[in-house]
Amino acid sequence: MISSPPHMMSVPERLQKAWDEANSFIENGNPEKALDALRDVAWSECKNDSQRAQTSRYAADAGTLWGEIDANSQKKRWQKAYKNYKTALDFDPKDKETRRRMNKLASMMDENAISVNSGFQMFNEGNPTPIGLMAIVVAIFVFLASFKVVTDAIDPDGIGLWNAINGENTPNDLINGTVILEISYVNQNDERVDVSIEILLKPIDAPIHVENFLKLTNDFRYDNTQLHRIIDDFMIQGGDIDHMSGMGGYAGKWFGYCNGQVSASPDDCDLSDWTIPDETSKENMGLLHHPCTISMAKTSAPNTGGSQFFLIPGDSEPHHLDGVHTVFGEIVSGCEHVTAISEIQTGSDDKPVNPVMLKKAYVKV
């Protein structure tokens, strides 16, 4: 039985049961069932970072075992397991046992000539690699896919948004809702200041993006993350709930897409690969990238949005992103703070010299 560490008191009963079931499945050589138990129950029951760290570690344990017993999927399972160990350490960097297990897996992967990263990298620390740049150029001139039809077919009136997030709320209730972002940054005078930004969400125009953003917000996934990439006169980017570096993040719930591809079941897709469908295209532009808006970050491939987003300051109009990235809200208060943050000092990879922290995100009541 998985016992709770001393620093993790008051574990919810459903969470402890899911951990126990997962551990039992692992001990009996059934990692797939273990991952099902964690995916279906455990993650939504986590109340703090310590519990999220434990859940991620158990998912990594299951993935490691799966790779050991299934040689055909070993590379995929071990790479995802390694990613889950890293996620666990992001939540709890002092967990020596998780680090030990991750290092052991890394040694096993090295012995089997398996890299810790899956495939070539389109982006590094939020910026495109040379391969990524080439893919972007090709994608722009060759193919920009539209999935607005799919979105409308799945949920033409955005009913899933209102039922999943607010139950009894009507569309008009949500149209007038806002999310507050509390951000801490070091200004031009080398003073750390705390500011608030209000975002009016647009569920009629981008129902899936709004539902995803609200789910992540209500699950406290954005709390204590970083705005990791800042470019003056362009945008400020954050929302990496995995590593806070631009290399991670995934959808808040299952929307039918696995790493940009339509998938029938979440059972065939690791949590870290859950993505959402685009809700804009060159044919159906959707909301435009005007100053003081929020848009979904993703790779150059379609339907690869997850948790990362970017805020557009008051002096930027990146309309070259129209029809490619989905705008899903408007900054109705505090856009001057977004503009000020966009002008702070940055180093390599457009990373702020002093961390810009998203301390808290919550729905305004």
Q: Which pLDDT tens digit goes with each residue over 168-223?
A: 443 434 444 799 999 999 998 999 999 999 999 999 999 999 999 999 999 999 99
- For 329, half-sphere exposure in the C-beta direction (CA atoms, 13 angstrom radius) is 30
Condensed to tens digits (0 to 9), the pLDDT of residues 317-361 reads 999 999 999 999 999 999 999 999 999 999 988 999 999 999 999
Q: Binning pLDDT at 50, 70 and 90, where does residue 292 land?
A: very high
CB 18 within 8 A of CB 41: yes
Q: Where are the domains of the chain?
A: 13-111, 145-363
CB 167 within 8 A of CB 298: no
Q: Binning pLDDT at 50, 70 and 90, where does residue 365 land?
A: confident
Q: Binning pLDDT at 50, 70 and 90, where does residue 152 land?
A: very low
CATH superfamily of the 13-111 domain: Tetratricopeptide repeat domain (1.25.40.10)
pLDDT for 116 equals 64
Say if pTM beats, i.e. exceeds, 0.85: no
Beta strands in the chain, from DSSP E residues, in sequence order = 123-124, 127-128, 178-186, 192-201, 225-226, 229-231, 235-238, 257-258, 261-262, 274-275, 293-296, 309-311, 327-333, 357-363
pLDDT for 145 equals 45
pLDDT at 159 over 80: no
- Structural fold of domain 145-363: Cyclophilin (2.40.100)
At 203, the amino acid letter reads P
For the chain, the 3-state helix, strand and coil shares in percent, each to the nearest 5, are 40, 15, 40
